Amino acid sequence: MKGIKGIIGTLVTVFVVAVLSQFIALGGDVFAVDMTGLKALVSAGVLAAAAALVAYLNPADARYGIGGEEG
């Protein structure tokens, strides 16, 4: 169970960091975020989390996931 919590923690961390980075790149104005800006923020987070998910699902990647010692 510790491995799953670690993976979820990694996914949440990369999602939040990507969203905050995109927010700053868009100007960092909370009151200027419209639906288009919100979509850009969520897209950045999803794509960053997808990178961690690909590593998890890669059997040749021994860091964690399917190819890891516990996976």
Question: What's the domain count of the chain?
Answer: 1
> What digits encode the pLDDT tens for the residues 46-68?
998 898 788 778 888 777 667 66
In a domain, 69, yes or no: no
In a domain, 49, yes or no: yes
Helices and strands: H and E segment counts in the chain: 2, 0
Which pTM was predicted?
0.71
As given in the structure block, the two tokens for residue 30 are 């909370």
In a domain, 68, yes or no: no
Among 62, 54, 40, 50, smallest CA distance to 15 is for: 50
Answer whether 1's CB lies under 8 Å from 69's CB.
Answer: no
Identify the domain containing residue 13 by its residue range. Answer: 2-63
In a domain, 23, yes or no: yes
* CA atoms of 71 and 56, how far apart (whole Å): 9
pLDDT of 1 above 70: no
